């Protein structure tokens, strides 16, 4: 059977990325141009700067992805692009580029939901993994507990009511002086700290056992820091990082495993930037082993934003015959379901 080649394009936040995927699961190239150095000066992503950088980078990123894969635009079967959720100006760069290529080369255009893309990252390294399964998506903008019923079909079980897990990592990192991006810096600092030094609240949402709330936990860290500043107490950065990280992990593991048990799911898939956290992976792995749940997660490079995951998601929509129209637009607040 002829190979199916999909070009994935991602520009929803601060990474400009392109990737060529063969037959839905094989990564022929995965090029990511990160803007972290640019945004670090401002302590977070500046949307207008992000859009401009995407414009500067998108052409060479795509050219590199094609060259590394050893294919030309003519060889492609479809062009997949993230059209939401994300920063509107950033998304528009990818969407306009994908439309231009698809129109000029007469190729099918596939619009991909970024959150679905994160879940699909798991198909790259787990060739036997197929839906249905339970998934926990933990990124900078989203915290969702969902069921992937079939390719491209989700049922939402729970979500955060306030901050996303990654957002909480970023805000706490800033508060304790670790800077941006917060997740990896907290993970590193936490290695030298005591996770039981402070007890931060494990937020629950009354009546919604699968929803999340991280704002109380974040406020508790800020209150602790304010109190220490007022009383002249020295703050042990590593202990705060380790105790905060432990609180987040307890909540994520507790809720995901509870959902798996209550719904009788035997496969749990984790995805998104926070899923690259080593301590979280270890805790989830152990909890799943105890409960007889098969646990899947991508390598760190496929957890944070990349275009390979977008190419994989696009492949399955393409195979179902789904196509985007030429009026495909950026949808900044696109929902998973």
DSSP character at residue 106: T
Based on its alpha-carbon atoms, the radius of gyration of the chain, rounded to whole angstroms, reads 20
Site residues (CB under 6 A) for ligand KG4, limited to 269-288? 272-274, 276-277
Edge-to-edge strands, sheet with 143-150: 153-159, 143-150, 133-138, 267-271, 294-296
Query: Residue 111: is the preceding peptide bond cis (ω within 30°)?
Result: no
Q: How far is the CB of 196 from ligand KG4 (least distance, A)?
A: 19
Contact of residue 193 among ligand KG4, Zn ion, none (CB under 5-8 Å per partner type): none
**Per-residue tokens: 230:** 């007022």
From the list 129, 127, 123, 137, the residue with the least C-alpha distance to 267 is 129
Q: How far is the CB of 118 from Zn ion (least distance, A)?
A: 6
**Per-residue tokens: 127:** 């060739």
Site residues (CB under 5 A) for Zn ion, limited to 275-314? 305
Q: Does 84 bind ligand KG4 (CB under 6 A)?
A: no
Contact of residue 131 among Zn ion, ligand KG4, none (CB under 5-8 Å per partner type): none
Contact of residue 187 among ligand KG4, Zn ion, none (CB under 5-8 Å per partner type): ligand KG4
Site residues (CB under 6 A) for ligand KG4, limited to 155-194? 166-167, 169-170, 181-184, 187
Site residues (CB under 5 A) for Zn ion, limited to 104-143? 139
The string over 103-116, giving b where at least 16 C-beta atoms fall within 10 Å of a residue's C-beta and e elsewhere, is eeeebbbbbbbbbb
Q: Does 212 bind ligand KG4 (CB under 6 A)?
A: no
Q: How far is the CB of 325 from ligand KG4 (least distance, A)?
A: 25
Q: Does 82 bind ligand KG4 (CB under 6 A)?
A: no
Q: Does 8 bind ligand KG4 (CB under 6 A)?
A: no
Distances from the Cα of 253 to the Cαs of 57, 97, 138, 233, 257, in angstroms? 38, 39, 12, 32, 6
Q: Does 140 bind ligand KG4 (CB under 6 A)?
A: yes
Roughly what angle, to the nearest 10 degrees, separates helices 215-231 and 237-263?
Answer: 160
Query: Which of 6, 7, 9, 13 is the binder for ligand KG4 (CB under 6 A)?
Result: 13
Residues that bind Zn ion (CB under 5 A): 139, 305
């Amino acid at each position: 059977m002829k190979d199916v080649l999909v070009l994935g394009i991602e520009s929803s936040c601060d990474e400009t990325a392109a990737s060529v995927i063969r037959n839905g699961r094989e990564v022929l190239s995965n090029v990511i141009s990160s803007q972290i150095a640019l945004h670090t000066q401002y302590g977070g992503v500046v949307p207008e700067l992000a859009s401009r950088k995407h414009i500067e980078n998108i052409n060479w990123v795509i050219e590199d992805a094609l060259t590394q894969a050893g294919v030309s635009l003519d060889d492609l079967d479809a062009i997949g692009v993230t059209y939401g959720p994300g920063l509107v100006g950033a998304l528009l760069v990818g969407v306009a580029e994908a439309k231009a290529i698809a129109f000029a080369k007469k190729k099918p255009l596939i619009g991909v939901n970024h959150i679905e893309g994160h879940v699909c990252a798991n198909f790259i390294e787990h060739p036997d993994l197929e839906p249905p399964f339970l998934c926990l998506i933990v990124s900078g903008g989203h915290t969702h507990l969902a069921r992937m019923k079939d390719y491209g079909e989700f049922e939402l079980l729970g979500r955060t009511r306030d901050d996303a897990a990654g957002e909480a990592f970023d805000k706490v990192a800033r508060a304790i002086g670790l800077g941006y991006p917060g997740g990896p810096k907290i993970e590193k600092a936490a290695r030298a700290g005591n996770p039981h030094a402070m007890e931060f609240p494990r937020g629950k949402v009354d009546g919604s056992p699968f929803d999340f709330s991280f704002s109380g936990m974040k406020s508790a860290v800020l209150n602790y820091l304010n109190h220490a500043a007022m009383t002249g107490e020295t703050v042990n950065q590593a202990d705060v990082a380790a105790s905060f990280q432990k609180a987040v992990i307890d909540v994520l593991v507790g809720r995901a495993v509870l959902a798996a048990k209550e719904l009788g799911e035997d496969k749990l898939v984790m995805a998104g930037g926070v899923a690259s956290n080593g301590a979280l992976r270890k805790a989830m792995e152990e909890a799943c082993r105890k409960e007889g749940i098969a646990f899947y997660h991508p390598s760190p490079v496929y957890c944070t934003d990349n275009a390979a995951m977008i190419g994989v998601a696009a492949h399955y929509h393409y195979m179902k015959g789904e196509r985007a129209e030429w009026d495909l637009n950026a949808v900044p607040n696109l929902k998973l379901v």
